[in-house]
A and B are shown apart, each in its own frame.
Chain A
């Protein structure tokens, strides 16, 4: 059974960048069985990985609700759903991408989410690594539509608001009864490391490192280039090398 890592943080702190760079690191070290899950409707993990995903899990959930009454009586919905989950995933030689997509509408999702839980659980078991780009509200994690996370990495920018969000995610996870093997903190867009270390000490999480401002990342994002193609000596890439070592990713 593979390792499941979730990267979480409020919008705009660069958690998607970290998720993409972790995947980059895994690919560069020869891993060929990676699942990337985009579980934040406001983020764009597929873009940063240079793939396009047509439909989301939310779309097929709605498709099931709309179509189920037309299914033949003995046509199995969970078996249909499992096939659809695989159908909407983008497949590349070294990693696959699943987008969770839009939030639930007003209908009944009890049955469909129940089916999805076991499908996603089985799915992550087939990969050596699953990297989840999770929204700050941990929506999919709390509904358990994304399963058992081993390590949670909370990303923050070097602002008071950012640290408060990190603290809140930590408490939220505790409230939701999620047990992680490790809960890490990564601070992004750091220009002065010294100031950070003091603030980091005040939060009860394992500090995994900082990611400095990286003009390459900004440029790649601006032109829509995949972060997987970043050069090895790019500051953010080098920082993530250190982070992966610290969190013993590989």
Chain B
């Protein structure tokens, strides 16, 4: 069938204004809408088949709005379920290649318009759109050997379709959330903030979202695919040098290059020795509290003083600017949900203080037995009170407290073998001054 309009990248981003629109499919004012790609077995689908379930374009009144579903089924030797999301993203691109057809958003939020002009040219059936999609998918993704497309415009049927699609999105999201650094070959870098911090580069892995909380591993992957030389780029992770700290040869290489030689290595999951740098616009700061050998966290929206006696803004000046400052780390709040969250430093076992609102927000990520042992501004606003609170609650860091000699030790480098859950790691305190009331050494069961 001959499509009566042109198809090409030049039409991408073309906006169909309300005054120019023939019909609207989906969109904010329509309840039932959605799109889905499923991977099928070769014998399950019929190549090139296009179906329209419900009224077609020619049966719709000018200026009207309709429920809309786009269901694409693909098959091929290399087509696997894992690729569904990547293929589904292309529906947006390819629909927009069609002259006079606008496609916005994704999943259960799609919003399409067809222009009067294209309708006037004879684009009066969704079959043309199906034909364009099939041609583009096969041309641009050769792994697709068979493809069939179904459009749904009948409200009831779209509702059923979306209900089913939501289950598939959820399963897909669960798989995506379970993805870890071990499962992927590439991480992504982000230098969007280099105008503020020229030596800073954000390293984004499935276990570590960007400091601002805006770019996760999937966002990085999508952006790097569209514009590999842009501010988001792929980092081949290379060799795993140190599992606990999260040190990779590929990351170190990029850090060296992008920080203009300023920094040599990054530990992705430690705030000591070679911590990840911070730009200026991280969501929160993790700060080491030497008096209790624990880590406090404060987020940008918390306006009061931290347990250190200073507010976020003061700590931020210390943390930002693209320099590696041991004991200070800018991070996204979501990083607290990472299974690798500061794993080299003891993870949640090391967190001693954070504002109530953040504690509430990440409640599901805090190990249950620890939740009440971590202080908030309600429990402690200074170090003395914090110490008392931690001792009383039996927080795991208490086991790290060592007895103070009459005078403080001043050592250029001091090794402390930590007890507790994080066994087998090494913490080096450089130029540390330690005051402690007693030394407790316990066998870990």
Contact = CB atoms under 8 A, between A and B. Distances in A.
Interface of A: 32-33, 65, 68-69, 72-77, 79-80, 82-83, 86-87, 91-94, 96, 106-112, 114, 122-123, 125-127
A114 B18 contact: no
Given A68-B213, A80-B109, A83-B109, A110 B17 contact: no
B107 A75 contact: yes
Given A76-B106, A108-B212, 20 more contacts: A68-B214, A69-B213, A72-B169, A73-B179, A73-B217, A73-B218, A75-B106, A77-B214, A91-B19, A92-B18, A92-B19, A107-B281, A108-B282, A108-B283, A111-B212, A111-B214, A112-B214, A114-B192, A122-B15, A126-B13
B187 to A, nearest CB: 15
Interface string B352-379: 0000000000000000000000000000
Given A80-B109, A108-B214, A108-B282, A122 B173 contact: no
A83 B19 contact: no
A91 B300 contact: no
A96 B106 contact: no
B435 interface: no
Contacts of A86: 15, 104, 111
Contacts of B18: 91-93, 96
Contacts of A80: 105-106, 109
B110 to A, nearest CB: 9
A73 B212 contact: no
Contact of B173 (A74, A79, A83, A87): A74
B231 interface: yes
B211 to A, nearest CB: 8
B176 A72 contact: yes
Interface string B97-124: 0000000111101010000000000000
B219 interface: yes
Shortest 10 CB-CB distances between A and B: which pairs? A108-B281, A122-B13, A108-B212, A111-B214, A126-B15, A83-B105, A91-B18, A73-B176, A83-B104, A110-B192
Nearest to B194: A110
Contacts of B222: 76
A32 B211 CA distance: 44
Nearest to B172: A74
Contacts of A106: 300
A22 B162 CA distance: 46
A109 B213 CA distance: 11
Contact of A94 (B19, B193, B195): B19
Given A83-B105, A126-B15, A110 B212 contact: yes
B72 interface: no
Contacts of B295: none
Interface string B191-215: 0110110000000000000111111
B28 A73 contact: no
Nearest to B337: A69
A92 B105 CA distance: 22
Given A72-B173, A73-B176, A83-B111, A108 B193 contact: yes
A76 B281 contact: no
B260 to A, nearest CB: 19
Contact of B215 (A75, A111, A122): A111
B218 A74 contact: yes
Contact of B219 (A77, A82, A108, A127): A77
Interface string B314-338: 0000000000000000001110000
Contacts of B169: 72
Nearest to B212: A108
A111 B192 contact: yes
B258 to A, nearest CB: 15
B281 A110 contact: yes
A80 B195 CA distance: 26
B177 interface: yes
A65 B214 CA distance: 7
B315 to A, nearest CB: 14
Interface string B131-172: 000000000000000000000000000000000000001001
Given A68-B214, A76-B219, A109 B85 contact: no
Nearest to A108: B281
B104 A32 contact: no
B106 to A, nearest CB: 5
Interface string B279-295: 11111000000000000
A60 to B, nearest CB: 12
